[in-house]
């Protein structure tokens, strides 16, 4: 049973989308230290290697390596229903601040496909719903620690308690490592530190008011301190730290009216903060009669602060025997302070409200229809209507076909819609360079068609989940160089560069007499097609096998290349090439969980992907294979239960990061945990 797709409890075979479940056994057996690493087990997902940069997590690619994509804004992430999207982090997810401990996760439900009808405009290509353990199941103390190479030092302390009406869970977790160890600068490989330290304080209280009503309160604070910079480069890229925090409070009231009807009211507040000032060198060529280079230093802080208030009402009911439904209302108030994104100390504001609903109708025992819709208004983007129609047909009780048609939108981030990055030499020439200027952008739209099959072969203890899909985005948002208007002219670029498009009309690019700057624009038509499947099998009582495979092909073309202010056609070609190669043509993952004598457990994981690009500029990441291995032995002494485990990641060799010039090392660590 899953509830993430339509917000109605449904059998996995009757959801209007493909769903992958990562359960507690898989989480524990994987030995993974972070949630994002677990997502390698989900068909079609790509994840960057772990270092001080927050992971980029994408489904079917569409990362450009530009500022708008660095936090993966197209896959919604929820923890117990609360969105992890952050306005400060470009309306994406900062995985380094994810406020959840692995020890507290009950399961992760991953919806593969658009789901804005249930979770709003940024559930564009999928939803990752992290469901934590009920506090009533975590009573007592838990201590665990990891200690290994590459500076790995992790600790977790959890306490749970309660009485007849209330249950409490409190967790403290610290995570530390040295990230990547090698980098290539100016053609030379050298030591390149990028260590990170993070802490999490997490509290959840569940209180039963009476037979019908309950309250759930949660509070979390996560903090991350990461090291950036290049050794021996005090001018261009000095060693420095970036400190980031996220504070969240949530309160939910639920009334259960009967077995089929309940209402919920939820309020959440999130404040994100980042701080990492340093002296940044600014260099550019001017558009003077006698062109010259300008170089100066300015104080720069990439951080800022954001605050989000969210209120949501939800009503689930069954008006007729063959019909179940849910409907809801939601509102958000968002504020953002970020001089780095807007070149001003003023707060930016955004409002959003929506109505949404899902209806499930069973006309016959073998058929189930799902209809969903969402009407949303955003103060930046205006009105949007999203819809989904799903039909499930049971060929037999163990074999189900699924057809889903859906439309979804992604609202541009405040940075994409309103950002401006301006750098002025205030102590010298007074010349100005504009790096980014928002000039008008509309929400992205995706139209998806999928055909799915789910086979549940209980006699064999096996299952097969297959999804074939076509996803079309007619107006993908790209950040590209655009011509500046006369009212926002800058001094970058020589006269020669500005006039090149005039003297070489064959380039077909925009002329930029007043200079150029990056800007977000709806400029690309994208089609993603392919298929993916996951097979699960328990051939023996103590053996579990999970295999995933995804084949993805991306077609992308610019709708109007003449809008790009570039001096060469080669740079324009890089843009859609990046989109086409932003997902590997094929990705595979396999997991074996094997029970051994003396209650020991061994797990083996294998990940493989074809070549892909994480960045528009630079070389593609080579085809890669990664092998992980874990051996664990539980123990019990008196009333204390525990486990000792040894984990190795990338035992087959080093891995390239999001660029070929950074290398992720093989890691290994010893884990000890006990509870009482």
Percentage, residues of the chain above pLDDT 70: 96
Q: Taking residues 549-570, what's their average pLDDT?
A: 89
The answer to whether residue 6 sits within a structural domain is no
Report yes or no on 1 lying in a domain. Answer: no
The least confident of 101-115, 346-360, 361-375, 605-619 is 605-619
Q: What CA–CA distance (Å, rounded) separates 132 from 134?
A: 7
Rounded alpha-carbon distances, angstroms, from residue 579 to 368, 554, 557, 575: 36, 7, 9, 7
Nearest to 222 by CA among 420, 35, 452, 32: 35
CA 366, CA 465: separation in Å to the nearest integer?
19
What six digits make up the tokens of 468? 């074939």
What is the per-residue pLDDT across 414-439, written as a single tens digit (0 to 9) for each?
999 999 999 998 877 888 999 999 99
Q: What 8-state DSSP symbol labels residue 7?
A: S
**Mean of pLDDT values over 148-176:** 96
Question: Quick check: is 357 in a domain?
Answer: yes
Domain count, the chain: 1
Residue 160 resides in a domain: no
CB 322 within 8 A of CB 310: no
Q: Is residue 201 part of a domain?
A: yes
The whole-angstrom separation of Cα 305 and Cα 337 is 5
Classify residue 383: in a domain, yes or no: yes
pLDDT band at 567 (very low <50, low <70, confident <90, very high): low
Task: Give the lowest-confidence range in 62-71, 166-175, 443-452, 624-633.
Answer: 62-71
Lowest mean pLDDT among 149-163, 268-282, 566-580: 566-580
Mean pLDDT of 95-119: 96
- Residue 497, pLDDT > 90, answer no
Based on C-alpha coordinates, what's the Rg of the chain? 26
How many C-beta atoms lie closer than 10 Å to residue 484's C-beta? 22
Q: Which domain holds residue 631?
A: 12-154+168-675
Tokens in use for 575?
Answer: 């843009």
Amino acid 510: pLDDT = 84
Of 207, 229, 225, 232, whose CA–CA distance to 217 is shortest? 207
pLDDT tens per residue, range 292-333:
788 888 889 999 999 999 999 999 999 999 999 999 999 999
Q: How far apart are CA 74 and CA 458, in angstroms?
A: 35
Q: Tell me, yes or no, whether 5 lies in a domain.
A: no
Q: Would the CA dihedral through 614, 617, 622, 626 be positive or negative?
A: negative
The CATH number linked to 75 is 2.40.170.20
User: pLDDT confidence of 629, banded at 50, 70, 90?
Assistant: very high
Q: Which residue has the tokens 């209402």?
A: 263
Identify the pLDDT of residue 504: 65
Model confidence at 654, pLDDT cuts 50, 70, 90, reads confident
Better-predicted residue by pLDDT, 81 or 657? 81
pLDDT value at residue 507: 64
In a domain, 3, yes or no: no
pLDDT score, position 113: 95
């Amino acid at each position: 049973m899953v509830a993430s797709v339509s917000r109605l409890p449904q059998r996995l075979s009757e959801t209007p989308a493909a769903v992958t479940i990562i359960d507690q056994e898989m989480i524990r057996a994987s030995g993974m230290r972070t949630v994002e690493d677990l997502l390698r087990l989900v068909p079609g997902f790509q994840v960057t290697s772990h270092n001080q940069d927050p992971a980029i997590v994408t489904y079917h690619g569409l990362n450009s390596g530009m500022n708008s994509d660095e936090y993966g804004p197209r896959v919604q992430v929820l923890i117990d229903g609360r969105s992890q999207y952050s306005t400060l982090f470009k309306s994406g997810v900062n995985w380094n601040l994810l406020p959840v401990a692995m020890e507290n996760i009950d399961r992760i439900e991953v919806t593969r496909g658009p789901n804005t009808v249930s979770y709003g405009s940024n559930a564009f290509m999928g939803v990752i719903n992290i469901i934590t353990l009920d506090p009533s199941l975590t009573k007592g103390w838990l201590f665990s620690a990891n200690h290994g190479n590459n500076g790995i030092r992790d600790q977790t302390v959890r306490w749970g308690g309660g009485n007849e009406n209330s249950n409490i869970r409190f967790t403290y977790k610290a995570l530390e490592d040295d990230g990547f160890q090698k980098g290539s600068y100016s053609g030379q490989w050298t030591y390149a530190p990028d260590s990170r330290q993070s802490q999490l304080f997490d509290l959840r209280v569940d209180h039963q008011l009476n037979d019908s009503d309950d309250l759930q309160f949660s509070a979390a604070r996560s903090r991350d301190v990461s090291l950036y910079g290049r050794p021996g480069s005090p001018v261009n890229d000095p060693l420095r730290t970036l400190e980031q925090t996220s504070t969240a409070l949530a309160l939910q009231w639920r009334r259960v009216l009967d077995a089929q009807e309940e209402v919920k009211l939820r309020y959440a507040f999130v404040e994100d903060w980042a701080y990492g000032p340093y002296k940044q060198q600014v260099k550019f060529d001017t558009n003077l009669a006698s062109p010259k280079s300008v170089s100066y230093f300015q104080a720069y802080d990439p951080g800022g602060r954001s605050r989000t208030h969210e209120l949501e009402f939800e009503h689930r009911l069954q008006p007729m025997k063959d019909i179940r439904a849910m409907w809801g209302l939601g509102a958000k108030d968002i504020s953002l302070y970020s001089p780095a994104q807007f070149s001003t100390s003023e707060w930016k504001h955004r409002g959003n409200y929506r109505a949404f609903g899902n209806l499930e109708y069973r006309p016959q025992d073998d058929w189930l229809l799902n209809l969903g819709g969402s009407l949303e208004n955003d103060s930046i983007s205006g009105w949007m209507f999203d819809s989904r129609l799903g039909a499930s047909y049971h060929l037999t009780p163990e074999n189900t076909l699924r057809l889903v048609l859906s439309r979804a939108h992604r609202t541009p981030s405040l940075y994409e819609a309103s950002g401006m990055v301006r750098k002025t030499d205030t102590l010298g020439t007074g010349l100005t360079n504009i790096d980014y200027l928002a000039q008008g952008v509309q929400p992205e739209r995706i139209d998806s068609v999928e055909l799915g099959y789910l086979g549940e072969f209980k006699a064999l203890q096996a299952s097969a989940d297959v999804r074939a899909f076509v996803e079309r985005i007619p107006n993908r948002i790209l950040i590209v160089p655009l011509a500046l208007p006369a009212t926002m002219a800058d001094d970058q670029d020589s006269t020669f560069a500005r006039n090149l498009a005039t003297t070489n009309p064959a380039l077909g690019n925009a002329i930029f007499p007043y200079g150029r700057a990056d800007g977000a624009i709806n400029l690309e038509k994208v089609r993603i097609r392919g298929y993916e499947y996951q097979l699960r099998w328990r051939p023996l009582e103590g053996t579990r096998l999970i295999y995933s495979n995804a084949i993805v092909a991306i077609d992308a073309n610019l709708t109007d290349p003449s809008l790009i202010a570039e001096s060469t056609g080669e740079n324009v070609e890089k843009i859609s090439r990046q989109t086409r190669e932003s997902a590997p043509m094929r990705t595979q993952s396999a997991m074996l969980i094997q029970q051994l004598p003396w209650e020991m457990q061994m797990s083996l994981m294998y990940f493989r992907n074809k070549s892909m690009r994480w960045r528009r500029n630079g070389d593609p990441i080579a085809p890669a294979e990664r092998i992980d291995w874990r051996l664990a032995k539980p123990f019990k002494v008196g009333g204390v239960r525990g486990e000792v485990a040894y984990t190795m990641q990338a035992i087959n060799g080093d891995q390239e990061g999001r660029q070929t010039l950074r290398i992720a090392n093989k890691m290994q660590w010893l884990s000890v945990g006990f509870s009482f």
